[in-house]
Structure 1
Amino acid sequence: MKGILLISHGKLAEGMKDTLELFSGRIEQFDALSLSAGQEIFDFRKKLSQKIDSLDKGEGVVIFCDLAFGTPANIAAKMLTNDEYKSRIQIITGMNLPIILEYSQLRSKDVDFNEMISVGKDGIINLNERLNI
């Protein structure tokens, strides 16, 4: 089973983790890491490495980031240039609750990440329009 790590600016990752556990209960190999205002980049990268190492039980870690090309995602992406992490991490940006909930239920090696991303996209709707209000 792959680990799941949520990373974000501010406390979004912790909030997503808390919300997901409200739906699913405690989830194995699941954690969150947030970049705080004023936090040193080196410190965040070190904590990111530690979280990946603790979550990876041999099958890797899927990292969900709040924002493509934001600092947390960029730091994670830079790890893809390191042979130690390149084969161990999969990075998905634009995390939302539907995509994390979907992945936490699947968690197999054979996940089609493009299909999973569609679940996240499909969770974004104009509810007024959908309800004809």
Structure 2
Amino acid sequence: MKGILLVSHGNLAEGMRDTLELFSGQLEQLDTLTLSAGEDIMDFRAALSDKVDLIDTGDGVVIFCDLAFGTPANIAAKLLTDTQYKERLQIITGMNLPLILEYSQLRSENVDFNDMISVGKDGIMNLNQTLNI
């Protein structure tokens, strides 16, 4: 089973974990990493690789990042250039609750990441328009 690492600017990742566990209970191989204002980038990179190593039990880790091309995602992407991590990581940006909820329920199976990303996108809607209000 792949580990799940939620990574964000500020405390978004911790809030996502809290809400995810409200729906799913406490999950194995789930962790968070947050980037605070003024935090040293090299310290963040070291913490990221430490977290990946901690939750990877041999099947790899899916890193969900809050924002494409934001600092947390960029640092995670740099791990892909390291042969130690390249085959172990899948990085998904634009993390939202439907997306991580879907993955947390399917992660022991062979997941089609494009289908899973569609679930995250489908969770975004104009509810007024959808309800015709």
Which band: TM-score by shorter chain?
A: over 0.9
Which residue of structure 1 lines up, in the alignment, with residue 104 of structure 2? 104
The one-letter code sitting in structure 2 at the alignment partner of 1:34 is: T
| TM-score computed with the length of structure 1 as normaliser | 0.99
Query: What's the offset of the Cα at 1:129?
Result: 0.4
2:27 match? 27
Secondary structure at the counterpart of residue 6 of structure 2: strand
Partners of 1:91 and 1:129 in 2: CA distance: 32
Tell me the secondary structure at the aligned position of residue 80 of structure 2.
helix
Shift of 1:56: 0.2
Specify the SS of the correspondent of 2:92: strand
Q: CA RMSD in A?
A: 0.6
Mapped to 1, the partners of 2:54 and 2:77 lie a distance apart of 19
- Runs of 5+ unmatched residues, structure 2: none
Q: Does 1:119 align with 2:103?
A: no
Q: Distance in 2 between matches of 1:18 and 1:37?
A: 22
Q: Which stretches of structure 1, 4 residues or longer, exceed 4 Å deviation after superposition?
A: none
Does 2:55 correspond to 1:55?
A: yes
Q: Quote the residue 1:94 is aligned against.
A: 94
Structure 1 stretches of 5 or more lacking a match?
Answer: none
User: Structure 2 vs 1, CA of residues 85 and 109 (structure 1 numbering), >3 Å: closer, same or farther?
Assistant: farther
1:45 Cα deviation from its structure 2 partner: 0.4
Rounded Cα–Cα distance in structure 2 between residues aligned with 1:58 and 1:109: 15
Structure 1 position 109, deviation (Å): 5.1
- The count of residues paired between Structure 1 and Structure 2 equals 133
Give identity over the alignment, percent: 76
Deviation at 1:108, TM superposition (A): 2.9
Contact 1:7/1:72, CA 8 A, preserved across alignment: yes
Partner of 1:7: 7
Task: Give the Å deviation of 1:110.
Answer: 1.5
Write the distance in 2 (CA, Å) between the matches of 1:108 and 1:84: 22
